[in-house]
Structure 1
């Protein structure tokens, strides 16, 4: 050190001390780079000062970060579905798993014939058939899905059976229906009088043009964290009303309609599925949280990706909700009108999502 100091005292030079990016500063999209340039002779005192400053910086970096106490248990769902989140909360409060909670929660909407966007009573396709899509994902990364399922009210439960009782991730159409019957599910007529009457009225003109927020809700997606900190998610829908026969959107597709990473958090989507699939939206939200974004920031960026690539974004609606490992939540959409329900020890509330427009 004395040799280095003597050498520095004999020569005048330019020294640049670059600040090291601190990986804990995770909420910033871009990290500003700055440098301080000192011109002149560095004395022994100045060098010693630099050494002391470096030690202080290292101590600060190595010090444990202060974190908020995790919020758990918690249940969050797309749209204002208080019965669903209350059912999920009951499971969580009694010590049940997040997987049981999300399945129980969305089943409430699947069984509600007044909800014409999921399960029994859902609006049919152009040919008058009610076809359901659903997926479920647990804290271990296991998942199951069904697409184009007919005659079974609880598509989410069939999806769970696919996850737990088969080596597959997804079953479709007649195969999914056959599997459901083998698992003991009852065959039902899902087309209610109300949905049938509306379909017959639609057939008079048969012009399909999706209307933004035509109803209070469409896809039901739910995320939950149980008392052990494990995260699970579920997503179920009857799809677009009067869709082309065979059409499948984002809801049953792991990574698009739903994604969970137990180390990071989870996300689920609602709205026009085609746009969500193009950006693998729910996976994107979780990966953004992995990179340090908050749930709110991640949802906003995922919506911005859609807007950036679609010049006709004003004609569509997409919304996301997300939750991170600490139980922090967020939601964002293109158009106003989307909301999400949250249930914690602190209360049960419906939150109006912020929007791009």
Structure 2
């Protein structure tokens, strides 16, 4: 672990404080927005039933490529992946012009949960704890309604697009219930989740309302999973840099614990497609709610926010907001933040 000042600090940045009188921090999402030429026009398409992709240009034809899609065994539409692609024009079979994406490299780990992951069982039931949403092919989150909007126009039946088309925003709104597979007729929670994609990145807002006493073995909100072949360092808004190359399932506890509101994953070696000039950022919104400041039942051993060195495929940042805790009916957990992929040449220093 390297605790020296982040190489990303020292640029012309927008700084903010997590609370009145708190230290100034680097907001990496804002930093990327200031250093990238992100137009108002982005490109989106529906690729299947509750599956969509969005391209957000950040340098000419180079784009952040974001994917969204439902789980295989439940209904939750997750922020499925984040990559870098090039935008290319294509001729439509119906005439006219559309757009296609040529992927260059992945940054955010596909299929790894980002919004929330909470391991639950009905309190005092003796049932095995299961994850909200689906983990290990066990479905637990099911739709009441799921809607997608391109520029406030709803695609009510998720009609598949032939190619990407220009838009200014994409919004996915979900209302769901969370259930335990052993007691599917007695929901544990109501879950609302909204994803909004525009020139400012991918914004996520999740609200979980507990409907009955629920035992939570572990729970996370606003996670940051990076592809192992991309990330080799994690930087925080408070100026620390952590090595992210171990692959032995070890964990790194963050010195700043839960006080950093922004994080960046960096690729420092040269790469054939500009990997060393590209970073991905995550900034937490309403950090007090997302990290459950001052509330019982957060991680007890080690820092609340920690980095897992799982294997060669993935390094993942976990804010562990629940740890062996029982919630009561009427309690609410709310998590929100923004992800952004863009270019910052200083990332190679």
Report the TM-score when normalising by structure 2.
0.25
- Structure whose residues are more often helix by fraction: 1
Structure with the bigger percentage of strand: 2
